[in-house]
Chain A
Amino acid sequence: MLAFIIRRIIQSILVMLVISFVGFLIQHQIGDPVRDLVGERVTPAEREVIRDRLGLNDPFYEQYFRFVAKAVQGDLGLSFFYKKPALDVILSKAPATIELVIVTSFILIFVSIPVGIYSAIYPKSWISRIAIAGSTVGVAVPVFLTAIAFIYLFSVELNWLPSYGRGETVTVWGFWDTGFLTVDGLLHLILPAISLSSIMLPLFIRLIRAEMMEVLETEYIKYAWAKGLDRRRVWFVHAFKNTLLPVITVFGVQLGIMFAFTILTETVFQWQGMGFMFLEAVERSDTSLLVAYLVFVGVIFVLVNTVVDVIYGVVNPMVRITGAK
């Protein structure tokens, strides 16, 4: 088991080295640290002095090692636009994205589980048919279209809900800007969260329905019926528990995908999160911030994947064996 964990950690370090190398290449080839530092109105001679002082004329590998060493200490360079350390910029935008993902996850859980279970228990009822047809069509609707449709309906035509920004936020613990504590902030959360959950809902409804239907066919459920147990007890305690495991697995994977979709949702709603910041960085050619975000996302993915894999290894010994090949 220990060998498996060590192997997994070595692998994730390798992945991080590759990602950091890509990031370094971008910064080295595209970015201009001198401009990031002093702007564009500097004579070529002064520029050369600054380049020398920053070590930009050093051999390639030396610069790379320096980049990695700094990155490990949390120094991902200066953002050209914000004139602040890139990591600080990212961390100041992170709460907005995380809150959006949290609310979306809640919507996902509280909608997909009841709908999925219901359509598995009563596959012929018209509610189930609508849910299944809806989730077939839903897969084909891009998240930004749903978002635009919601904005048009609820903000432009009905004027019920705000269409952009986070509204009023409150700072807690000194650094976390939260929209959870004000009515305005919560109102601003509704449309983005529903839009973001709409892209994941079809998958979860179908998954829960399929798993639940499969479980309902198994022997132990038949036995539970034969014992004369209460219907609700069979459905919600006996059957549902066993549909949960695959659902949790998929949910873990989908959290990562949700991050990608936050970029789209945040663009539509001008939501001041990390995805919006990333696109602004691309438009402003803020290379350092872009590279910092790349490394940041890389770290998060590698961390999550490693933890998930290690947990799998603990739960399921077969994973360990195939990994050892």
Chain B
Amino acid sequence: MSTWARFKESYLFHSFKRDLIAIASFCALVFLIFIALSAPVVAPYNTYDTATIDIMDAEIPPSWMEDGEDRFLLGTDIQGRCLLSTMIYGLRVSFLIGCGAVVLQALIGILVGLFAGYFGGKVDGFLMRITDIQFSIPYLIVAIFTSAIFKLAFGVGRYEDLAIPLLIIIIAVSHWPIYARTVRAAVLGEKGKEYVEAARVIGLSRWVIMFRHILPNTMTSVLVISTIQVAEAIMSEAALSFLGLGMPITKPSLGSLIRAGFEYIFSGSWWITFFPGLLLVVFVLVILLLGDWLRDVLNPKLYKG
């Protein structure tokens, strides 16, 4: 049977077909990711190109309102950029940082969890002590402090130039303990099973056992937390950018757009804040809903009415 045919017969696909919320959020997510990744093609204007921006266009309301212009469907922001285009580029930045951060934190967390779970003893005690300590401090506090320190260490200019990689590192460093814990628990469950015993008996090295035999079997739980973690990472990035510790307004993410628009809300320009905020909420919400569904399907034990 081909992979596709097998997938069509699987329990995962079967329960997906019957869950309207899962289908709807999956479609919305695919649509948003497609738009985000093809931003240069889809967006009406290139907002990184300063030549196309005219400050005279600043704060134009959405096209259906009085004073609105057809050129700018959702109006413009304070710098005269087309808000829709800025949002699409912002979504792309938020998405890239979210995914990058999750890949990096999964890498750190999986390695720590795998080593702690497989070797046990002193290694386990040491690694898990570190994990527990960081776990006891809220991730947002860690992220805010780390970014503040980085900002001071690099200086504002360099920090803004390097914002994307730095934010990926900051968010990964503040979120990895959940992976370490999950993977360790899964490894402990797998370690005693017979296939591991068998692999050891035929003389495979411990590295092969760890990475080729045990690791793939922990991937279900990794997948389940990864969806939630992408949403968390995007929310953290938005929070950092809103505090002025994230993306600069020249290369805005959704968070920095909201920060910029907030100052103008008192003069009645609500759309600069409202649309990026709405997009952020919808994006995070569909990921969370998919994550909830995935957790229920793959992990029935965790299911709680």
Contact = CB atoms under 8 A, between A and B. Distances in A.
A279 B243 CA distance: 8
A156 B144 contact: no
Interface string A224-238: 000000000000000
A109 interface: no
Interface stretch (A37-45, A138-146, A181-189): A138-146
B152 A290 contact: yes
Interface in A169-216: 210, 213-214
Interface stretch (A59-67, A81-89, A95-103, A252-260): A252-260
Given A267-B243, A278-B148, A290-B152, A145 B277 contact: yes
Given A29-B153, A30-B152, A145-B281, A210 B305 contact: yes
A267 B239 CA distance: 11
Contacts of A283: 244
B231 A260 contact: no
Contact of A144 (B151, B239, B304): B239
B168 interface: no
Interface size class of chain B, counting residues whose CB lies under 8 Å from the partner chain:
35 or more
A287 interface: yes
Contacts, number: 96
Contact of A260 (B141, B238, B266): B141
A145 B141 contact: no
A258 to B, nearest CB: 9
B305 A267 contact: no
Interface string B113-139: 000000000000100010001001110
A282 B151 contact: yes
B23 interface: no
Give the dominant DSSP class at A's interface: helix
Contact of B285 (A29, A140, A156, A279): A140
A24 to B, nearest CB: 12
A148 B266 contact: no
A210 B149 CA distance: 40
A214 B303 CA distance: 13
Contact of A140 (B136, B270, B281): B281
Nearest to A25: B149
A301 B152 CA distance: 24
A260 B258 contact: no
B281 A259 contact: no
